[in-house]
Structure formats: C-alpha cells, structure tokens
Chain A
C-alpha cells in the first residue's frame, strides 16, 4: 500500500493520457513564450488579457468549484489589485514592482478577510453573494469620487515598471518584455492554485463543499476554512488585477461593476467548473468567440449567450465536461 494507490481527483485517465496532456501543455507554454515573435501586437494584447482573465476565473472557481461558495462581486477584488498597482506605478511609490504586486494581492485577501469575519457565521449562499456585490458597488462609488484614482475617467498613463534586482535591471517598459513577465507570473499563480486545490487544504475545501455538517463532525472548523478559501480567492483575483494594470496601462470603472464580476463566472461555467483547467479553457473560448466575431458587432454576445445556454442545458460541466464525455464514448466504442 503505497502512494501509487492514490488516485488524485479528476486524474483518472491513463498514464499515456497524462503524458499527452503534459506534452500539449508544454508546447502551449513554449508557443505562448514566443508569441511576441509569432503574432501582431494587437493579438498579443488579447493573449495577455486572456492570461489575466484565466487567473481571474481560476480564482473565482477556487471558491465555487472547490469550496462551494459563490461570489457575485469578484470584480471588487480585481479592482483592488488593479487600482493599487496602477496608482503605485503612476505616482511612483518607492516599492519594488514584485512587492507592489504582492501588496495588491494581500489587500485583496484582507478585503476578503474583513467580509469573511463580518459574515463568518453566514459565509454561504445569498449572504456572501450580497456582501460581495456590495463590496464591488461600494468600491465603484469610492473610486468614482476619488480624484487621485481618476474618478469616472479612470486611471490612465500607467507606466510599465523596471525591476531592480540589485545586480541587474529588468526593463519591462517594452510590451514584449512585459508580456513575458506576465506569462511567467500567470504560470506561477496558476501553479500555486493547482497546488492549493490538490493539497490537503484543497481536500478540506472539497469536504466542506460536499457536506459542511459532515465536515464539522470530522473536526474541520468550517467557518475558518471558508474564510481561508475566500482569502486565497480574493487575493488571487486582486493579483490578476494587479498584473492587468501595467498591461492595459489604464484602469477604469468598467472593471468595477457587476458585469465585470460575471466574467470569471461565465468563463468558469463555459469551460467547466468541475475541472481545475475549466476556467482557463472558458477564458480562451470566450476570447476566441469575441475575436472571431469582432467585425460583426453584437454577434459575439449572441454567440456567447447561445453557447452558454447550450452548455447549461446539455452539459452543466462545461466544454471540458463535453470533451470528457465524448472521450469516454469513443473509448466505449473501441471496446464494443
């Protein structure tokens, strides 16, 4: 009886299947790394935004898919990170850039902690939904009346940073260089989230999602772990926002409303919330639909809406769910 008998959740595929997936993933990362040489700047910008949206959606789905809590105001956390980093760069805070990002993330986690403690006993269902929406709306109002944050016009002209390592300077003012930094940062954050979901912390979250009462009776402090998962989720969302500010070079109120909050939910449902990679797939699918229909205004909304309706009706587990089903059916066909 060794670790070999451990079948991690969602990994009940054959070993060859795992190798194939790893190989595809590696090729994708290499392609993404050389994207600045392969695509035009316009498309590169969209790819960068997709990376950020993927992390944002992953952060939302950590809460929904793992712990079973739904935040309807996740844009509030994203905005905390985006506005903090935007202001730090614009006004030249004396902070190393990586530290700025980390503080942005920490502020998101702090906001999540405060909401969590206020709602400690009721961190479920409609209460959490209302509180997170309230956070986002309040933030929108506060920013709208703060001249230093650009009020209704947004915070523009955000410069890209130069990272000082002491012995060397990494100049990220060029968009290709910042893109590569963004890619590495998103990969690191994704790896971190993957670890959380698959570690004993993630197993504790899933136990709470499955049956909170049962979890209490194996000695899990449910309220505490809900707050922890909320903090990780809020912190990661803020980190996604923090990474976005120097990429878009402008942060506006469009990122602090309920519509922005629905984006990570949409992406997670589109890709499949039961799979760790679902939110990433969803972000890619969503961006692709938008990109291919960009010359026909309104078509992308109709297509995304249509795809979503189909998915909710036919496959509540999203694109990855459908692919998994097709694969299982093909395998069955092979055997039969």
Chain B
C-alpha cells in the first residue's frame, strides 16, 4: 500500500443489538496521518460504531480493514496489537494500580506483543529502562508527579489523561478516542487538545474521535462525519458539514457551534 492509502476502512458495517439494527451500513475511511471526527446526536450510534471498529462488539455484516489487513473477525486485543490505541467515553484505567503501574502494564504488554526486550525473565520488578519510558509518557501528559498515586484517587481529568497515556504507550498507528474531553473543564480541554495535537505532529499518528465540543473538533480534525439513527447523513470537511442542509435539519433550532450535543 502506498503512503496515501487508507489506514482504516470500514465498508457497509452493520451492527445489531438483538433485533434492533444500531449501525445501518456505515462506510468510512481514514488515511494515514488523517484525523476524523464522528459527531451526531445522542443515540446516533457513534459509540457503537466505535466499538465495532475496535472489536468490542462484532458486526453482523460489513468489513473492517486496518493497516492493510482484514480485521473484521479479529478480537479487540489483536486489533490493539495491530496498532489501535483506544480510550473510553467514561475513562477506564486500572483503578487499584498506581498511575506508574498502569503505564508499566501497558508497556509490558506492548513489548511482549512486539517481541521487544522486556528485561530478564526472572526479574520481578520492571526494568529501569521500562520505568524510565513509563515516566516519560506520564510526563508528556503532565501527570508524572502523580505516578505513585493509586489511579482510583486521581481526579476525573487526570484519569482521562492517564487513559490517554495508556493508549499512547502502545505507540499506536491510530488513536481511537471516544469523547476525549467529556466532562472536563474548558481549560483542561484545551490542554488535552494541545497534547493530542503535538503527539500527532510528532508521530504522525492518525485519529478517529467522537466529540461533542466543536472547538475541540475544529482544532483536531481534518474531516467530520455526521451520524443520525445509525446512518451517515453527511461527511466532508468541517466547513462543508456545517453548511450541509441535512445536518442543519437534524440539528434544527440548535446553534451549530454547540450542536453535536
């Protein structure tokens, strides 16, 4: 595949919860280095689409290609090994582990999966190089000072940061962020946006996210896909989507800048 080929491509994806079809034939593609935001009203199927892309739920039909491989029937952990790094809408970290242990577990998993050196097998404690790498990742998100805190005691924003650290520690090809700034204070949001931006610049990692905050979407995404009732109703650049009449109809009476809620 060439440099501009699709990193992530879904074709006619369909997901059912029981008899109810939640995702009704969605197709999308994300090129290498590109950034896509998925928006839509609550219940539009954004998170379900996310789950189908990352392997958390299986799709009834359709196909997901990632990094040149058909991952449709691959379980979640295998897709992660292929290079998907994901965060959840409500941040999920290993609550009873310290922040440092959280990242160490992620790094050990990555090194094991990539057959990178993990230190002498008989050594119980993680190797100094691994700890240094973990602290560097925590530092990038500005939470290195919290490394010995138990994750359960972290604030909401710091948990979100820690979860993003976990995803980044895997050195993914694509970041799949389900509402990366949900429930955060405005100042915190922009800090997260800056971090994600600098990581994308540094590592050229692609991004797929769902998000409600239009400022975040403007700052981070190249293109937007709008969903409603499990279908794509519009997609294109941020400007195109803003001026799309169907989108305006879905959000009728709402101020577009805050419309995605």
Contacts and interface: CB of A to CB of B under 8 A. Distances in A.
Interface in A189-225: 195, 198-200, 202-204, 206-207, 210-211, 213-222
B201 to A, nearest CB: 24
A214 B118 contact: no
Given A206-B97, A207-B105, A219 B56 contact: no
A210 B96 contact: yes
A269 B113 CA distance: 35
Contact of A210 (B94, B118, B169): B94
B97 A220 contact: no
Interface stretch (A5-13, A129-137, A170-178): A5-13
B125 A8 contact: yes
B192 interface: no
B102 to A, nearest CB: 8
Given A200-B108, A204-B109, A219-B80, A214 B128 contact: no
A5 B135 CA distance: 10
Contacts of A207: 94, 97, 105
B148 interface: yes
B132 interface: yes
B101 interface: yes
A204 B128 contact: no
B86 interface: yes
A29 B218 CA distance: 66
A218 B77 CA distance: 7
A3 interface: yes
Contacts of B48: none
A299 B77 CA distance: 52
B8 to A, nearest CB: 16
A1 interface: yes
Contacts of B85: 217
Interface string B93-123: 1111110110011101110110000100011
A94 interface: no
A2 interface: yes
A213 B92 CA distance: 9
A195 B122 CA distance: 8
A5 B80 contact: no
A6 B126 contact: yes
A275 B166 CA distance: 26
A204 B105 contact: yes
Contacts of A5: 100, 131, 135, 147-148
B124 A195 contact: yes
A203 B104 CA distance: 9
B149 to A, nearest CB: 11
A211 B131 contact: no
Interface in B148-177: 148, 166-167, 169-170
Nearest to A196: B124
Contact of A219 (B93, B110, B122, B123): B110
Most buried by A among B77, B95, B101, B113: B77
Contacts of A8: 124-125
A216 B88 CA distance: 12
B118 A222 contact: no
A254 B80 CA distance: 47
Nearest to A220: B109
B76 interface: yes
Contact of B75 (A2, A3, A216): A216
A19 B166 CA distance: 34
A2 B80 contact: no
Contact of B101 (A199, A203, A211, A220): A203
A219 B95 CA distance: 18
B80 A217 contact: yes
B81 interface: yes
B54 interface: yes
Given A6-B126, A200-B126, A219-B80, A210 B97 contact: yes
Contacts of B81: 219
Nearest to B91: A214
A1 B139 CA distance: 12
Nearest to A203: B105
B56 A213 contact: yes
Contacts of A206: 94, 96-97, 105
Given A6-B125, A211-B93, A218-B169, 9 more contacts: A1-B135, A2-B128, A3-B125, A202-B124, A206-B105, A210-B97, A211-B94, A213-B92, A221-B77
Interface of A: 1-3, 5-9, 195, 198-200, 202-204, 206-207, 210-211, 213-222
User: What are the 5 tightest A-B residue pairs by CB atom distance, in nearest-first order?
Assistant: A210-B94, A219-B80, A198-B124, A216-B76, A218-B106
27 contacts: A1-B131, A3-B131, A5-B100, A5-B135, A6-B125, A7-B98, A7-B100, A8-B124, A9-B101, A195-B122, A199-B123, A200-B126, A203-B97, A210-B95, A211-B93, A213-B76, A213-B92, A214-B166, A216-B77, A216-B80, A217-B54, A217-B77, A218-B170, A219-B81, A219-B109, A219-B170, A221-B77
